[in-house]
Amino acid sequence: MTSTKHLRHRNVQRDGPRLERKIDKSRTKNSDSSSKLVAIASVLVTILLLAGYFRYQMYLREKIKTPLYAPTMLAKDSTSAKSDPERYWGSYRPNTYFGMRTRTQRSPVFGLMWLNQFTQQMPPPIRHWCDQGDRLRRYGWLKHDGVNFGVQEIVDSDFMLTTSFIKRAGGDHGGDWSANITATSTNKERAGLVSLMFYVALDGSGHVEPVISKNGQRINSINGYSPELGHYRLSFPKSTSNSTHKHNYLITHATGLDKLKEAMMNGIRVEAWDKSRRVPYFVLGGRQVPIDVEDGSNFVVFQVTTELPYTLEVMYESGSIYERPNRLQGEVFSSLLAQHVSEFDKKFDEKFDLKSKAFSQSQVDFAKAALSNMVGSVGYFYGASLVQSVYNEEPVNYWKAALYTGVPSRSFFPRGFLWDEGFHNLLISKWDPEISKDILSHWLDLMNTEGWIPREQILGDEARARVPDEFVVQRNTNANPPTLILPLQRLIKSMLDSDKEKDKKFLKAVLPRLQTWFQWYNTTQIGPKRFTYQWRGRDGHTNKELNPKTLTSGLDDYPRASHPTNDEYHVDLRCWMALSAGLIADISKSLGVDGAEYAATHAVLTDNGLLDDLHWSEKKQQYSDYGLHTDKVRLERPKPPANLQPGQRPPNMNMDKVRVVHADPELGFVNAFGYVSLFPFLLKIVEPSSPKLTRILTDMRSEKHIWTDFGLRSLGQTTPLYNRYNSEHDPPYWRGALWINMNYLALGALDFYRKTPGPYRAQADEIYTELRNNVVNNIYSQYMRTGYIWENYNDKTGEGKGCHPFTGWSALGLVTGVATGTRSSPAHELLIIGYFDNLCLFRQI
Ligand SMILES: *[C@@H]1O[C@H](CO)[C@@H](O)[C@H](O)[C@H]1NC(C)=O
Ligand SMILES: *[C@@H]1O[C@H](CO)[C@@H](O)[C@H](O)[C@H]1NC(C)=O
Ligand SMILES: *[C@@H]1O[C@H](CO)[C@@H](O)[C@H](O)[C@H]1NC(C)=O
């Protein structure tokens, strides 16, 4: 509809000059005043039409960055110190090894850097942002409750750091917090010499003034002020450690929060550690504020260089607290921390009921770490996405907004991703529903007037600095699986029959947003036939990719129709739509508003007869995508030209391989068995009595297809593109490897089918137990072996692959827990915590 309007206006513009020419002619031939009037009127009409046209163009261009006109989920100051003092401060900088900030737009940031003085490298490697290149043996939160405290271990080459923090309420600005950073040597032969650097940096507002010791060497404290925090003081109490240590500092100006390390490098110089032995060491060079900087220093770093072991204490104290019972250091710190830890342990046992089960201590610790990393990696970001619609010649800024969100990977993906976040919150909502509701509300408030939410959120300088340019711009034609529906289903379950005003308020706020979101998918992501759906964003013109990627589906290179066209439709998206329609219908019913259209759409989308007509391949006996497809594609190096002279180098010798199609594609079902074919089962749309169910279960359990000792692989070995590169440089991603979010959905579905009356219960039950043990055993043993939870796992060896740590949805596998039953071996009992309760929440057919 919009595009025809658009065309009509284009014609108006074309008519404009022609009209004027006509007017000119008429004037010379005839000086009749009435025709003059006609002429003037025509000009006026043209001007009006043109003005209308430009206005409309402007409207189209602006649309993408116009927020949805509906009450927001969050009150305007919902994260302020006044409204929510408890979660004001936090380790909301998951991209750093250890960093603190508030949930305000331009919070000052606090954080840790460190360097090993016994390094041969120049300049020395300074650790700051989580980076796989640092090759740390492991790091991550062991315990973190998302609100009050966290304890993290970081294992570097010859030493280990423990970073703990606790918060204490009081005053008007979110209270105090203290951190304890302990460095211990892990190398008996070599006593380490390590610099710990703790900084405060301003994000464009407020000021900081260091207080230097009498000998001019040490920053004793930093007095700061910012509009949100008022006056505050950061102090570094004198250490009681007997290890030899020296102090230095840096006071300078950084041009942005993404430039802190650079500013630090600029301030570094080399001195002798020990005059007699002349061991060189790297020290910060004191006050170095460039003279041309008007607003003075905005980056202050405390440095201690020390032999190990050593503990650095950092104390942040709000100026609005006038009477403290004591200061949060030493014994006070330790005992308050111990109290939080014991409350954490107790809550963990209650929530996940591990007490009654025979888990080893190591397995319990592992489960706690998995949960803690999910919760402890929640960040707070502020900024504007770069977005583009067909009406924008250049990318434009979305409105500036805040996002409180989990992140898939602190090293590799330290920012919000729409479809990951749904999975994250299956776990977070189990631990702390308030945190989840807050996260989901932040995401839903990012919806624009069209009903679109950008799928990757790159907000602020630090986030932007970590994303290659080509991935920054988000396009409003592109969707992503609406996984937020999954945790919403869980959270809303208890609200549907609730009389509480708070619950009703949440449902009332969420409903219009979900409706608009659904309508966006239901109009922009539709397929060629009624009730078919199609992921947009595939490139139909490339010859570089074996199978053009479908990034929007979340499953990147999972094979779809070989030739993207408008004829194709995708079974996974149809299932997501069914789920969404069902949830909206439920909420409508609970609020007593008309949800008939959603109930009807849900009924159509879960109708197994229709589903089978559209997506069941009789030939392959599997659910499939439909489209223009051939299996006969290969990547080949372009042939050198035939008329090459002797001795002449073929010009295309170094050319990338291109796709060569060896048989004409035909309209039909796409030949691929894997996660996408499972979707009607994964989202519990297949009827428990359907013979298709036993077929799916049988194929799922077959090693020829997707079964492995470590979980379900993404693509069956019988599929032509199994484990194939997608271009010369793109290794297989969703073409064989095991992914934990999908295994999690599979376990949820198996549990549903094993408990629902039907002919295939026993089959589901058997596979459920086996799969559960395989998935959990593997993640656990890989964690013990490598120190990390991984992005995905090799289907042949079970080894962790891709980025790490990946404590986003991979943490689900660890924390998905379940009653044991006698069949599973107790030694390998899984620690899967969340999904048991989750199962019944999926909509029943
Ligand atoms: C430092 O040394 C003194 C005396 O040797 C000892 O009493 C004290 O416990 C030591 N402190 C620490 C933190 O090791
Ligand atoms: C700091 O933490 C370590 C262990 O995390 C603990 O042993 C030490 O006592 C703490 N130091 C202080 C001063 O609280
Ligand atoms: C979704 O789209 C279909 C096809 O246009 C329509 O029949 C259906 O009513 C829509 N569903 C809702 C809930 O709007």
Same domain? 677 vs 719: yes
Say what the pLDDT of residue 778 is.
94
Neighbours of 504 (CB within 10 A): 14
Same domain? 220 vs 287: yes
pLDDT > 70? residue 333: yes
| Domain final residue, candidates 439, 463, 493 | 493
What atom of ligand 3 comes closest to residue 584's alpha carbon?
13
- CATH code of the domain containing 216: 2.70.98.110
- Quote the percentage of the chain above a pLDDT of 90: 76
Say what the pLDDT of residue 31 is.
62
pLDDT > 70? residue 209: yes
Is 202 within a domain? Answer: yes
Cα separation, 297 vs 254, whole angstroms: 8
Indicate which residue's Cα is closest to atom 7 of ligand 2.
182
Cα separation, 770 vs 700, whole angstroms: 12
How far is the centre of ligand 1, averaged over its atoms, from the C-alpha of 709 (Å)? Answer: 53
Is 18 within a domain? Answer: no
- CATH code of the domain containing 739: 1.50.10.10
Same domain? 695 vs 835: yes
Determine whether the shortest distance from the Cβ of 163 to ligand 2 is under 6 A: no
pLDDT digits (tens, 9 = 90+) for 683-702: 999 999 999 999 999 999 99
Number of domains in the chain: 3
Determine whether the shortest distance from the Cβ of 162 to ligand 2 is under 6 A: yes
Check if the beta carbon of residue 340 is closer than 8 Å to that of residue 148: yes
Same domain? 319 vs 395: no
Say what the pLDDT of residue 272 is.
81
What atom of ligand 1 comes closest to residue 241's alpha carbon?
13
Is 26 within a domain? Answer: no
How far is the centre of ligand 1, averaged over its atoms, from the C-alpha of 329 (Å)? Answer: 18
Determine whether the shortest distance from the Cβ of 311 to ligand 2 is under 6 A: yes
The pLDDT-based confidence of 352 (bands split at 50, 70, 90) is confident
The pLDDT-based confidence of 524 (bands split at 50, 70, 90) is very high
Is 508 within a domain? Answer: no
Tokens of 32: 């009749």
> What does the pLDDT average to over 572-586?
98
Q: Which residues are designated catalytic?
A: 556, 791
The pLDDT-based confidence of 319 (bands split at 50, 70, 90) is very high
Q: How far apart are the first and last CA of the chain?
A: 35
> What does the pLDDT average to over 19-37?
58
Say what the pLDDT of residue 421 is.
96
Cα separation, 595 vs 574, whole angstroms: 19
pLDDT digits (tens, 9 = 90+) for 268-279: 888 888 776 667
pLDDT digits (tens, 9 = 90+) for 383-426: 999 999 999 999 999 999 999 999 999 998 999 999 999 999 99
Cα separation, 231 vs 677, whole angstroms: 58
Say what the pLDDT of residue 826 is.
26
Determine whether the shortest distance from the Cβ of 241 to ligand 1 is under 6 A: yes
Is 253 within a domain? Answer: yes
Mutation test residue for ligand 2: of 236, 329, 334, 335, the one with most atoms within 8 Å of CB: 334
Mutation test residue for ligand 1: of 182, 238, 242, 312, the one with most atoms within 8 Å of CB: 242
Bigger pLDDT: 830 vs 28? 28
Say what the pLDDT of residue 52 is.
92
| Domain final residue, candidates 440, 469, 493 | 493
Determine whether the shortest distance from the Cβ of 235 to ligand 2 is under 6 A: no
Is 132 within a domain? Answer: yes
Cα separation, 234 vs 221, whole angstroms: 5
pLDDT > 60? residue 470: yes
Say what the pLDDT of residue 199 is.
98
Check if the beta carbon of residue 369 is closer than 8 Å to that of residue 37: no
What atom of ligand 1 comes closest to residue 242's alpha carbon?
1
> What does the pLDDT average to over 727-752?
95
Tokens of 714: 């993404």
Indicate which residue's Cα is closest to atom 3 of ligand 2.
182
Determine whether the shortest distance from the Cβ of 240 to ligand 1 is under 6 A: yes
Same domain? 708 vs 798: yes
Same domain? 637 vs 744: yes
Cα separation, 564 vs 237, whole angstroms: 64
In terms of Cβ atoms closer than 10 Å to its own Cβ (0-12, 13-18, 19+), residue 356 is exposed
Query: Which residues on adjacent β-strands are paired with residue 182?
Result: 162, 311
Ligand of minimum distance to the alpha carbon of 308: 1
H/E element holding 149? strand 149-155
> What does the pLDDT average to over 308-331?
95
What atom of ligand 2 comes closest to residue 333's alpha carbon?
14
How far is the centre of ligand 3, averaged over its atoms, from the C-alpha of 553 (Å)? Answer: 21
Q: Which domain holds residue 392?
A: 368-493
> What does the pLDDT average to over 634-651?
76
Mutation test residue for ligand 3: of 518, 522, 588, the one with most atoms within 8 Å of CB: 522
pLDDT > 50? residue 833: no
Neighbours of 577 (CB within 10 A): 24
* Averaged pLDDT score across all residues of the chain: 89
Same domain? 287 vs 404: no
Pocket of ligand 3 (CB under 6 A): 522, 530, 581, 597-598, 601
pLDDT > 90? residue 359: no
Say what the pLDDT of residue 652 is.
56
Say what the pLDDT of residue 357 is.
67
Determine whether the shortest distance from the Cβ of 334 to ligand 2 is under 6 A: yes
Question: Among 306, 435, 445, which Cα is nearest to 378's?
Answer: 435
> What does the pLDDT average to over 796-807?
88
User: Cα–Cα–Cα angle for 779, 781, 725, nearest 5°?
Assistant: 55
How far is the centre of ligand 2, averaged over its atoms, from the C-alpha of 337 (Å)? Answer: 10
Cα separation, 817 vs 839, whole angstroms: 12
Alpha carbon of 617 to those of 608, 614, 671, 704: distances in Å? 14, 9, 9, 19
Determine whether the shortest distance from the Cβ of 638 to ligand 2 is under 6 A: no
Same domain? 709 vs 791: yes
How far is the centre of ligand 2, averaged over its atoms, from the C-alpha of 329 (Å)? Answer: 9
pLDDT > 80? residue 709: yes
How far is the centre of ligand 1, averaged over its atoms, from the C-alpha of 242 (Å)? Answer: 6
Cα separation, 102 vs 379, whole angstroms: 10
Indicate which residue's Cα is closest to atom 12 of ligand 2.
330
How far is the centre of ligand 2, averaged over its atoms, from the C-alpha of 310 (Å)? Answer: 10
How far is the centre of ligand 2, averaged over its atoms, from the C-alpha of 512 (Å)? Answer: 50
Is 444 within a domain? Answer: yes
Same domain? 320 vs 377: no
Cα separation, 340 vs 752, whole angstroms: 36
Same domain? 377 vs 230: no
DSSP of 641-673: PTTPPTTPPPTTTTPPPEEEE-S--EEEE----
Lowest mean pLDDT among 215-224, 281-290, 535-544: 281-290
Bigger pLDDT: 516 vs 280? 516
Q: Is the dihedral of CA 38, 42, 45, 51 positive or negative?
A: negative
The string over 546-576, giving b where at least 16 C-beta atoms fall within 10 Å of a residue's C-beta and e elsewhere, is bbbbbbbbbbebbbbbbbbeebbbbbbbbbb
The pLDDT-based confidence of 240 (bands split at 50, 70, 90) is confident
pLDDT > 90? residue 818: no
Check if the beta carbon of residue 300 is closer than 8 Å to that of residue 249: yes
The string over 28-58, giving b where at least 16 C-beta atoms fall within 10 Å of a residue's C-beta and e elsewhere, is eeeeeeeeeeebeeeeeebeebeeebeeeee
Bigger pLDDT: 834 vs 270? 270
The pLDDT-based confidence of 816 (bands split at 50, 70, 90) is very low
| Domain final residue, candidates 299, 318, 350 | 350
Determine whether the shortest distance from the Cβ of 239 to ligand 1 is under 6 A: no
Same domain? 317 vs 443: no
Residue 309: is the preceding peptide bond cis (ω within 30°)?
Answer: yes
Question: Among 432, 531, 551, 415, which Cα is nearest to 480's?
Answer: 551
> What does the pLDDT average to over 514-525?
98
- Quote the percentage of the chain above a pLDDT of 70: 90
The pLDDT-based confidence of 809 (bands split at 50, 70, 90) is confident
Determine whether the shortest distance from the Cβ of 184 to ligand 1 is under 6 A: no
pTM: 0.90
Cα separation, 21 vs 19, whole angstroms: 5
pLDDT > 60? residue 759: yes
Bigger pLDDT: 8 vs 595? 595
Determine whether the shortest distance from the Cβ of 309 to ligand 2 is under 6 A: no
Ligand of minimum distance to the alpha carbon of 521: 3
pLDDT > 70? residue 24: no
pLDDT > 70? residue 839: no
pLDDT digits (tens, 9 = 90+) for 45-57: 999 999 999 999 9
What atom of ligand 2 comes closest to residue 337's alpha carbon?
14
How far is the centre of ligand 2, averaged over its atoms, from the C-alpha of 22 (Å)? Answer: 88
Is 179 within a domain? Answer: yes
Mutation test residue for ligand 3: of 589, 597, 598, the one with most atoms within 8 Å of CB: 597
Same domain? 295 vs 224: yes
For residue 113, which amino acid is it?
M
Ligand of minimum distance to the alpha carbon of 309: 1
How far is the centre of ligand 3, averaged over its atoms, from the C-alpha of 522 (Å)? Answer: 6
Mutation test residue for ligand 2: of 152, 162, 182, 238, the one with most atoms within 8 Å of CB: 182
Ligand of minimum distance to the alpha carbon of 603: 3
In terms of Cβ atoms closer than 10 Å to its own Cβ (0-12, 13-18, 19+), residue 272 is exposed
Determine whether the shortest distance from the Cβ of 313 to ligand 2 is under 6 A: yes
